[in-house]
Amino acid sequence: MDGSNTPTTAPVLILLGPPGAGKGTQARMLEDKFGLVQLSTGDLLRAAVAEGTDAGKQAKAAMDAGGLVSDEIVIAILRDRLAAPDCASGVILDGFPRTTVQAQALDTLLAESGGRINAAISLDVEDAAMVTRIAGRYTCAECGEGWHDSFKQPKISGTCDTCGGTDFKRRADDKAETVASRLSVYHAETAPLIDYYARQNALSRVDAMGAIETIAEDLSAIVKTATA
């Protein structure tokens, strides 16, 4: 963040959790409810790959294999996005940071503008359930709303409730072999951030195995307190 657009008081929230924990779904709900902007480094990287930018070309192999894109690329992408004017109302980071180096870079970026992390919220789930969750998920190609074969079906099958779109897509890296790598990378590289934020007294934890609405209520209560 270069600090020019984002006021020092703008809330910064982090959602931590393995792939399939529901970070994207919950971030979108919080975005609507609290007027925050969801920043997903996964979405930013997928856009870079689709546009064929240099960063996208470098990121693609790691993403296809379920590994992590280099800290350098991801931090640069996030820094640029955070400097955009719409982030001035505050942000929910979904999928960043994923390594200790990224967490330290974020602390430095925020410190430069007098900002801080309001809360890092860990969505606690069991690994065994994640493969099923990921295998069934898809999004509306028009508005990006997330859906699931078992847990969140549109009211009218084949039509997005949110925008009426009828075109849906599934992520290429949501196949079983890649999910296994993504989960092991999460445990090796990202799970240590739970302790990192606990040491900063910024950590909250939510049981994310239940219904989407219940988890959303728990998260809202934390965000309300953290941004008050």
- Confirm whether 205 is a catalytic residue: no
Nearest approach, Cβ of residue 154 and ligand AMP (Å):
22
Please select the residue that binds ligand AMP; options are 22, 96, 113, 125, rule is CB under 6 A.
96
Residue 210 φ then ψ, to 5°: -90, -155
Judged by DSSP in three states, 180 sits in helix
**19 vs 56, beta carbon nearer ligand AMP:** 19
Enter the tokens of residue 128: 């065994």
Enumerate residues 108-167 that contact ligand AMP by CB under 6 A: none
Nearest approach, Cβ of residue 74 and ligand AMP (Å):
4
Cα–Cα distance, 154 to 66 (Å, whole number): 28
Task: Give me the residue whose beta carbon is nearest to ligand AMP.
Answer: 42
Catalytic residue among 60, 116, 171, 205: 171
Burial of 195 (0-12, 13-18, 19+ CB in 10 A): exposed
Place of tokens 């960063």: 55
- Confirm whether 171 is a catalytic residue: yes
Return the range that interacts with ligand AMP (CB under 6 A); candidates 81-89, 95-103, 125-133, 157-165.
Answer: 95-103
Strand runs labelled E in the chain: 12-16, 37-40, 91-94, 119-124, 137-140, 146-148, 168-169, 203-207
CA 45 → CA 27, 42, 204, 206, 207, distances in Å? 17, 5, 27, 27, 28
Nearest approach, Cβ of residue 217 and ligand AMP (Å):
24
- For 47, residues 6+ apart whose C-beta sits below 8 A from its C-beta are 56
Q: Are the CB atoms for 62 and 69 separated by under 8 Å?
A: yes
Enumerate residues 176-215 that contact ligand AMP by CB under 6 A: 182
**36 vs 68, beta carbon nearer ligand AMP:** 68
Return the range that interacts with ligand AMP (CB under 6 A); candidates 41-49, 115-123, 129-137, 219-227.
Answer: 41-49
Catalytic residue among 28, 46, 81, 98: 98
Please select the residue that binds ligand AMP; options are 41, 118, 122, 139, rule is CB under 6 A.
41
Q: Which residues bind ligand AMP (CB under 6 A)?
A: 19, 40-42, 45, 62-63, 66-69, 74, 95-96, 98, 102, 173, 182
Catalytic residue IDs: 23, 98, 137, 171, 182
